Amino acid sequence: MTGGAPLIRLRRVTRIYGVGQARVEALRGIDLRIGQGDFVAVMGPSGSGKSTCMNVLGCLDTASAGTYHFKGVEVGRLTASQRALLRRHYFGFVFQGYNLLNRTSAVENVELPLLYRGLRAGARRAAALEALRAVGLEGRQRHTPSELSGGQQQRVAIARAIVTRPKVLFADEPTGNLDSARSREIMELLTGFNQDLGITVVMVTHEQETAAFAKRTVHFLDGLVQSDTANTAAA
């Protein structure tokens, strides 16, 4: 983790679903610090709490107890509307399933976050084209997802995530549907955005080869942080 005050800090965070016999403790009191410019791989078996942690960090879910501070602000005290603004202005998301609009061109998919921000059409289009160039898809801007390969669709998803220049990029199994060559291309892109633009990356993965690109690997087990280690061999 980088020095100074952390960008993200979790203290004794729990997340509980259900009641009685249906009660599940997905997170059981975790502590986690992530600095600006860090690149963290989150690993662990299914049901370990890693995806729940990602959802809490990305304000897609809320903690049951404990505190989550982002840039010194206690997220748990924000209203739902304020959390939505936090997502819109500070976070980018990349998912395993791409989550692209099927009948919409690549450039229009990338424009969506800027549309929600209220940018004018010309500014949206210019920023989206630049983001597509950044992920190596110049000339493919008018293609729909069905006209693109899996790796190209994931590049569109990454362009959409970084078009707003987020402080944090959350990536949930970003290479899960890709072959090894395309996986490496995607990870080199994420590494470049981390190193060149200073975007903090938090990535859930099952794949050790993917985690090796990160600066740190945090292992979850049974709703707890089992280990948090630096990766001195990161690309």
| 149 — pLDDT class (breaks 50, 70, 90) | very high
**Whole-number pLDDT of residue 52:** 95
pTM of the model: 0.91
Task: Tell me what the mean pLDDT of segment 52-79 comes to.
Answer: 96
> Residue 32: pLDDT above 50?
yes
Which three-class secondary structure state does DSSP give residue 80? helix
Please state the domain extents for the chain: 8-230
The fold adopted by the segment(s) 8-230 is Rossmann fold (3.40.50)
Task: Tell me what the mean pLDDT of segment 157-172 comes to.
Answer: 95
Pull the structure tokens for residue 194: 């981390």
- How far is residue 196's CA from residue 214's CA, in Å, rounded to a whole number? 14
DSSP lists the bridge partners of residue 224 as 221
- How far is residue 15's CA from residue 170's CA, in Å, rounded to a whole number? 19
CA nearest 167: which of 28, 34, 50, 29?
A: 34
For 39-43, 115-119, 215-219, which range has the lowest pLDDT when averaged over its residues? 115-119
Cβ count near 124 (within 10 Å):
21
Task: Tell me what the mean pLDDT of segment 105-128 comes to.
Answer: 94
Residues whose CB is less than 8 angstroms from the CB of residue 117 and which lie 6 or more positions away in sequence, other chains included: 88, 89, 164
Mean pLDDT of the chain: 93
DSSP lists the bridge partners of residue 24 as 17
Residues whose CB is less than 8 angstroms from the CB of residue 60 and which lie 6 or more positions away in sequence, other chains included: 54, 87
What tens digit of pLDDT does each residue of 190-217 get?
999 999 999 999 999 999 999 999 999 9
Write down the residue that tokens 């006209």 correspond to. Answer: 147
> Residue 232: pLDDT above 60?
yes
What tens digit of pLDDT does each residue of 71-113 get?
999 999 999 999 999 999 999 999 888 899 999 999 999 999 9
**Whole-number pLDDT of residue 2:** 45
| 3 — pLDDT class (breaks 50, 70, 90) | low
> Residue 66: pLDDT above 50?
yes
In this structure, what DSSP letter does residue 76 have? Answer: G
**Whole-number pLDDT of residue 4:** 66
By residue count, the chain amounts to 235
Task: Tell me what the mean pLDDT of segment 49-59 comes to.
Answer: 95
**Whole-number pLDDT of residue 97:** 85
- How far is residue 183's CA from residue 190's CA, in Å, rounded to a whole number? 11
**Whole-number pLDDT of residue 117:** 87
Q: Considering Cα of 180, then 177, then 83, then 27, what sign does the dihedral take?
A: negative
- How far is residue 202's CA from residue 213's CA, in Å, rounded to a whole number? 12
